[in-house]
Structure 1
Amino acid sequence: MTVQQFIGAIDQGTTSTRFVIFDQDGKLLTYHQMEFEQHYRHPGWVEHDPYDILASVDTCIEHAVRKLSLLGYEASSIQCVGITNQRETAVVWDSQTGQPLCPAIVWSDNRTAHTVQELATQKDKTQGINALLPICGLPLTTYFSAVKLKWMIEHEPAVKEAYENNRLQFGTVDTWLIYNLTGGVKNDGVLVTDVTNASRTMLMDIHTLEWSQKAIDFFGFSKLHLAKIVPSSSVYGKIYSGSLQNIPISGCLGDQQSALVGQKCFHVGEAKNTYGTGCFMLFNTGDKPVISKNGLLTTVAYQLGNDKPMYALEGSVAVAGSSIQWLRDNLGIINESKDISTLSEKVKDTAGVYFVTAFSGLFAPYWRDDARGTICGLTQYTKREHIARATLEAVCYQSRAILEAMNKDAGHPLKSLKVDGGVSNSDVCMQIQADVLNIQVHRPQMRETTALGAAIAAGLAMGVWKSVEDLQGVNTEGKTVFESKITDEKREQMYHGWKEAVKRSFGWADVVGDQDDA
């Protein structure tokens, strides 16, 4: 008998944090999850307190380790820890004190629309939003963290002062966590970011995997402290204190890339879709980046140790699970998020209702910051059940738009889609997805694949698994496959209505602006 080896995974998401413990077969032993506060100071603004993020991680670790002890295991049986995180969220702190200088600006925040417009015209008007596309694979939008950082320097006095005094440390959430978990400012915490998170800043050259001086100059960041870029699977340092003291942190991936690894999409042409707060589809394109011609993002998928980096095309939907929370918290249509499936199953269709959930604009393949949430087709017949079903359909229609763009860029159609994330728990939503796409939708029984990806990266670095070939039996039991149950005519009729609804959402921000409730 080999000694049982466990791997811990910090899954730091947009609205909640988990610490998940897996065994070497990829089976989930136990976990702890907690939500943390979201801050909305103005319309379109989304902020986190960096200390809340850190505290949620510490709390989840301690509770999960306590649960592990109830199963009869010691914390020392955890060999290593991987981290996966919300990606484009920007954190800034004083490099001398370690103190955050302002709230973290979350990836879905769209306050930087004017910053994007200024950047797109300041250098070369012919390139516009694609000015840095050849370097970083990304268009200029409110989504990415360098744009948020520029806004902070221009609008937050404490950030501007630290920048001018050469004390401004910038990082994404992975950098903030690893720095603090390995000791922070008082104990020489490690300042690193992995290639997947760095590829979302707009500051990394996706070809060389190094910070691009041209991109840094484009944003005017001459005095910026940047973390060292490291592989996704490598030993970065050891946890400084707490129940996991001296256990190595040896894996790190942005959450969507982590789900790709957790779904074991290691071969060219394999794709996954994660239905979380947002919705994110990634398509493995191999060891060379493919620059999209159809509104998708080019991103680093992962780099395992010293192996070649692998790349992916990505389509991002800003609002997925958060639209269900909106129905619950803002409208009171449902009491719990899971109730949306129960409501949706009570009607066979939406009775002509379409809900374009563009609360903060539309991401791929539309890239329209001026779009706003729009419900079309309301009649006196419309009931809350129809709106609930239209909310689920919105996620599925946007996923189809992304998949069509991926098929064009990749040159061959995807035959099946691997799915995970909270909304994938809904059978009715996954059936709608299969109906809308007309391909098989594969859902694993254990759907903590984002955390599993971080655990895989950490375990590979520590020798828990020798190579990706050792992962063939991981998380394969109990898979559910959904297939289309509607006709081609019905599918195209439904999708045509969606495309018309999307057109009606365009430009609404320009019509009414962003208004406070005065």
Structure 2
Amino acid sequence: MASHDPLILALDEGTTNAKAILVDRAGRVVARSSQPLTVSHPQPGYAEQDPMAIWRAMLASIDGCMAQTAAPLAAVAISNQRESALAWERSTGNPISPLVSWQCRRSTRFCEQLTAQGQADVIRERSGLAVDPMFSAGKMRWILDNIPNGQSRAAEGEICLGTVDCWLLWQLTGGKVFATDASNAARTQLMDLRTLQWSSELLGLFGIPLAALPEILPSAGIFGETLEFGHLPAGLPIMSMIGDSHAALFGQGGFTPGLVKATLGTGSSLMTPMSQLISSGAGLATTVAWQTDTPTYALEGNIVHTGGAVHWAARLLGASEDLDALTNEAATLSSNGGVYFVPALSGLGAPHWRADARGLITGLTDASTRAHVMRATLEAIAFQIRDVFEAMEQDSPEPLGELWVDGGATRNEWLMQFQADLLQRPVIRSLSPEVSALGAAHLAGQALGWWEDSNALADLERPRQRYEPRNNQVPDLYDQWKDALRRT
């Protein structure tokens, strides 16, 4: 590649890492850098992160990436962990709350009150989402309740309430731009899916002042321009912002209904695009996949604990240091030995939406080993994905085909084959570790005219591996999983 061809800098701010990649016009990643992030748990059910630590990690990743090439940049693209929310002062830009993580359950009581008041149906009808502490609106309510004069200061416009994309955009532009995109706004529980604007009715139910919220913009287009930070030059257009799960669907090339993408991270998200807005009857969320000229809607199912459950189990078993060895041992067992683990460590997400459910390990005998418990943990990832996949089949007007997967847990070959057997569908694994960042880059590139349309994007080379389903005893295992699930 000639050194003068411009590149897109794509930022992906996740729960456990802040990543930056540089992408060329062939859609290839030519440089990458990442910084680890920590989540703190100040009390049971609470999960939070330091907003300034996230910004510093993002800058370090940008510098690490930019140091690898002298090529000029065409644009910046952003993908981010969704639903997490924070508050900062409009005048100084200083955070006045932690980033309350998507995993955090601190708004459970408020959500229960809304449900008890009979508001769940109207909230689902307007926002497409079940009343659950995962979404941003309840977190924002908690934040305002825990800042001195929070409500009145927010109403006066002194406080900014935002999600991670919004925080990064504010930082990159030096506080000039306070905006979010439709995909992130769709996960706050405050946006009307039909108008793609904040809903006065939902703002009223959660008590969130409009003056504290960002402007909602399409996912691609000019959001603002960068200031200079280290190796990052001033004046670069920020051309896309999109939630990470939506970005992964875009990066996988999932533009047509009937395709299902699963991102397996700390939690997991299954998403399938729809040709029109459909309300779920099976416990799924309706959301905006992305908005270009018009919105593309999607059905989504969120699973709270998948990769996170594996790390939890490893800690419980004293195997955090030799996790790979233990997962390999679990994969070589002839069976799970009758052991099932329902990882409802902070409730169950889609399609059950039971915030009160708690984790359960069942079927233990004196023959059970720690490898059996880890085997049950890996199987639980696949079982939960099938739960959501079946709910999608009930809702989707199009028949669902193969499952496209990405994310950290997909490196486990045994799990991928087990998933294919369990679904009796091919599982197609992305071999790119940065599919969310790539999706944001593709969106920005399309806005720049690098790729004309979704056909040009679909034609980009994407290294993948395919797992074909085999006939085996998996259906019987799934029945026993259902039994374990009922006990929670």
Q: Please indicate, yes or no, whether the TM-score normalized by the shorter chain is above 0.5.
A: yes
Matches within 5 A, 1:350-361: 350-361=336-347
Separation of aligned partners in 1, 2:302 and 2:254: 18
Give the unaligned 5+ runs of structure 2.
none
Shift of the 93–326 alpha-carbon distance from structure 1 to 2, 3 Å rule, reads same
Residues 1:138 and 2:129 are matched in the alignment: yes
Deviates more, 1:97-106 or 1:84-93: 97-106
1:314-325 to 2 correspondences below 5 Å: 314-325=300-311
Write the letter of the residue equivalent to 2:183: T
Question: Which 5+ residue runs of structure 1 have no aligned equivalent?
Answer: 506-518
Deviations 1:389-436 (A, max 9, x none): 111111110000101010010144312011000101111111111111
Distance 1:341 1:381 in 2: 18
Kindly provide the amino acid, as one letter, of the partner of residue 226 in structure 1: L
- From 77, 81, 84, the counterpart of 1:82: 77
Question: Which residue is equivalent to 1:151?
Answer: 142
Structure 2 counterpart of 1:87, one-letter code: R
Match of 1:508 in 2: none
Tell me the number of residue pairs that the alignment of Structure 1 and Structure 2 aligns. 485
1:61 CA displacement: 0.4
Q: 1:269 aligns with which of 251, 255, 258?
A: 258
**Separation of aligned partners in 2, 1:251 and 1:131:** 31
Tell me the C-alpha RMSD between the 2 structures. Answer: 1.7
SS at match of 1:324: helix
Percentage identity across paired residues of the two chains: 36
SS at match of 1:157: coil
Residue correspondence of structure 1 range 171-190 to structure 2 within 5 A: 171-184=162-175, 189-190=176-177
Equivalent residue for 2:455, pick from 444, 464, 469: 469
State the partner residue of 2:153. 162
Q: Which moved more, 1:338-347 or 1:81-90?
A: 338-347
Partner in structure 2 of residue 232 of structure 1: 219
Q: Give the deviation of 1:202 after TM superposition.
A: 1.0
SS in 2 for 1:132: helix
Is structure 2 residue 284 aligned with structure 1 residue 296?
A: yes
User: Where does residue 244 of structure 1 map in the other structure?
Assistant: 232
Match of 1:214, as an amino acid? Answer: E
Asked whether the 8 Å contact 2:258–2:401 carries over to 1, the reply is no
1:404 alignment partner in structure 2 = 390
The partner residue of 1:333 within 306, 319, 322 is 319
Q: Deviations over 1:292-350 (max 9, x none)?
A: 0000000001112xx21100000010011111222334432242554454122221221
Would you say the 8 A contact 1:102–1:159 is kept in 2?
A: no
CA offsets 1:163-207 (integer angstroms, 9 cap, x no match):
3654121101000000111112xxxx2111000000011111111
SS at match of 2:476: helix
- Deviations along 1:80-132, whole A, 9 cap, x unmatched? 1110001100111111221111111101111211110112234xx3xx42221
Of 491, 494, 497, the match for 2:480: 497
Q: Which residue of 2 aligns with 1:115?
A: 110
Distance 1:167 1:377, change over 3 A: same
| TM-score, normalisation: structure 2 | 0.95
SS in 2 for 1:322: helix
TM-score under structure 1 normalisation?
A: 0.90
1:430 to 416, 437, 462: 416
Which deviations, in whole Å up to 9, do the C-alpha atoms of 1:219-274 show, x marking residues without a partner? 12236421111111111111101222222210111010000000111112211000
Post-superposition shift, 1:475? Answer: 3.2
- Does the 8 A contact of 1:354 with 1:498 survive in 2? yes
For 2:171, the aligned partner's letter is: N
Counterpart of 1:278, as a letter, is G
- Which position in structure 1 is the counterpart of 2:428? 442
In the alignment, residue 274 of structure 1 is paired with which amino acid? T
Q: Distance in 2 between matches of 1:320 and 1:205?
A: 30
* 1: CA distance, partners of 2:26 / 2:326: 33
Q: Secondary structure at the match of 1:372?
A: coil
- In the TM superposition, what is the alpha-carbon distance from 1:471 to its structure 2 partner? 1.7
Residue aligning to 1:210: 197
Output the amino acid matched with 2:347. G
Amino acid at match of 1:344: A
CA offset digits 1:334-386 (Å, max 9, x no partner)? 42554454122221221111111111100000100111111111111111211
